[in-house]
A and B are shown apart, each in its own frame.
Chain A
Amino acid sequence: MGYLAYYSGTSVVLSVLTLVGLYYLLTDQGYRVDFGWFLEETSPYMWAYIGCSMAIALSVIGAAWGILVTGTSILGGGVQAPRIKTKNLVSIIFCEAVAIYGIILAIVMSNIVAKYPSDADDKVIAANYASGYKLFGAGLTVGFSNLFSGLAVGVVGSGAALADAANPRLFVKILIVEIFASAIGLFGVIVGILQVSNAKMGEAAGSG
Chain B
Amino acid sequence: MESLTFNIDNGYLEGLVRGFKCGILKRDDYTNLVQCETLEDLKLHLQSTDYSNFLANEPSPLQVSTIDDKLKEKMVIEFQHMRNHAVEPLSTFLDYITYSYMIDNIILLITGTLHQRSISELITKCHPLGSFEQMEAIHVASTPAELYNAVLVDTPLAPYFIDCISEQDLDEMNIEIIRNTLYKAYIEDFYKFCEETGGATADVMCEALSFEADRRAFIITINSFGTELTKDDRAKLYPRCGRLHPDGLAALARADDYEQVRAVSEYYAEYKLLFEGSGTNPGEKTLEDKFFEYEVKLMVNGFMQQFHYGVFYAYVKLKEQECRNIIWIAECVAQQHRTKIDSYIPIF
Contact = CB atoms under 8 A, between A and B. Distances in A.
A69 B4 contact: yes
A168 to B, nearest CB: 11
A76 B19 contact: yes
B273 interface: no
B4 A155 contact: yes
Given A68-B8, A72-B11, A166 B306 contact: no
Contact of A80 (B3, B7, B19): B19
A130 to B, nearest CB: 37
Interface string B1-33: 001100110011111111110110000000000
A73 B20 CA distance: 14
Contact of A76 (B3, B8, B14, B22): B14
A127 to B, nearest CB: 41
A81 B22 contact: yes
Interface in A141-184: 151, 154-155, 158-159, 161-162, 165-166
Contacts of A165: 15, 18-19, 22
A100 interface: no
B198 to A, nearest CB: 12
Contact of A162 (B8, B13, B15, B20): B15
Contacts of B8: 68, 72
Query: For this complex, into which size category does the number of interface residues on chain A fall?
Result: 20 to 34
A208 to B, nearest CB: 43
Contacts of A161: 15
A52 interface: no
B301 to A, nearest CB: 15
B4 A72 contact: no
B84 to A, nearest CB: 14
Majority-rule SS of B interface residues:
helix
Contacts of B7: 68-69, 72-73, 158
Query: For this complex, into which size category does the number of interface residues on chain B fall?
Result: 10 to 19
Contacts of A154: 4
B19 A65 contact: no
A151 B2 CA distance: 12
Interface in A30-83: 65, 68-69, 71-81
Contacts of A159: 306
Interface in B54-83: none
Nearest to A66: B4
A109 to B, nearest CB: 28
Interface in B111-154: none
A72 B11 CA distance: 5
A166 B15 contact: no
Given A75-B12, A76-B11, A76-B13, A162 B4 contact: no
B14 A80 contact: no
25 contacts: A65-B4, A68-B7, A68-B11, A71-B11, A72-B12, A72-B15, A73-B7, A73-B14, A75-B11, A75-B12, A76-B13, A76-B14, A76-B17, A77-B15, A77-B16, A79-B15, A80-B19, A80-B20, A158-B7, A158-B11, A158-B306, A161-B15, A162-B306, A165-B18, A165-B19
Closest 7 CB pairs of A and B: A76-B15, A72-B11, A80-B19, A77-B15, A76-B12, A76-B16, A72-B7
